[in-house]
Structure 1
């Protein structure tokens, strides 16, 4: 499925950003120079590229269809687990945003909260991506009927085209490359 191929590619980009996050956190921990203004850029990448764009396709199209069509997965709670992990990631981003605000307002102790939430998110997402790439996506390809696959392909294609027309993917790939150059 082309949709799955695109999502795996998006996962690779998200994992690249997770490496940036880890490197930035190391700089914060070791009291090296870092730019606090880069963290809101990372949060924007996560919220827009990883969550709204990527997770939106998963939640609203792929997982919804899988939940409707694959009773065994629905009963096992596998898809619900993916939704819960997405929500936990959103909570990490919310708490990271509050920590950046506290740091910007003069709380040096907020470094701990920046590191804790950023690394917590990075670890969660890395494991989450592995489960999706090696299990959930494989289930979709093997267990969904052709009609469901066609629906997923068409709906995802529409969303990809809308995002592309707005320059969304390129904007966030450019941001990713800029931050990689700075921190890796």
Structure 2
């Protein structure tokens, strides 16, 4: 599996988590209590699997080469598009974490902020993933020289193997499956 195929597969896992996030928010909207452990797991998944693991490969390998080798169009697409959206996602997660803390400390109105930040993140990432799968990855694959793509694939494979030794993929996919059983059953 090359690096782009791997990243698309990871997108599928992230989209699965976004469905869980939406269901957890629907539960709050319907008057249910916030399950802080579940939300903390969702945030952990986003920060460590979607951001550090998945975005890590994008930012360190594919996007870096697109910025360096694909001229102004590549630079603008990555710097003013994809990386900005990654930062917005991080902001949503920070704001969600703060909102959960406020609710836990008795601020009922902050439930609105929990829902808005979680749903904002889910909406942002859904659109972001569609852009990457349908345009950004294809632009990179079609325009980066073959030797550069081979190097990206090699670095991504090394990154992936190191993460596998640490059990990152298994841990977060197990977490995802457990949350799906709870929220999507």
Sort the TM-score into its range (normalised by shorter chain): over 0.9
Residue of structure 1 in register with 2:117 after alignment = 117
TM-aligned CA deviation for residue 103 of structure 1? 0.9
SS in 2 for 1:32: coil
Q: 1:67-106, aligned counterparts within 5 Å?
A: 67-74=67-74, 77-80=76-79, 81-106=81-106
Cα separation, 2, equivalents of 1:7 and 1:177: 19
The CA distance in 2 between the partners of 1:100 and 1:146, in whole Å, is 46
* Map of 1:168 onto structure 2: 168
| Aligned equivalents of 1:34, 1:114: Cα separation in 2 | 9
Output the TM-score relative to the length of structure 2: 0.96
Deviation at 1:102, TM superposition (A): 0.6
Superposed CA deviations along residues 57-115 of structure 1, whole A, max 9, x for unmatched, are 1011100001111115235x111110000000000000000001011111111110000
Instruction: State the aligned residue count.
Output: 183
Aligned to 1:108: 108
Match for residue 30 of structure 1?
Answer: 30
Does 1:147 pair with 2:147? yes
Partner of 1:135: 135
Structure 1 gap ranges (5+): none
1:135 Cα offset (Å): 0.3
Partner of 1:11: 11
SS in 2 for 1:106: coil
Mean CA deviation greater in 44-53 or 147-156: 147-156
Q: How high is the TM-score relative to the length of structure 1?
A: 0.96
In structure 2, C-alpha distance between the alignment counterparts of 1:33 and 1:106, rounded to whole Å: 13
User: What SS does the corresponding residue of 1:31 show, helix, strand or coil?
Assistant: coil
Aligned to 2:60: 60
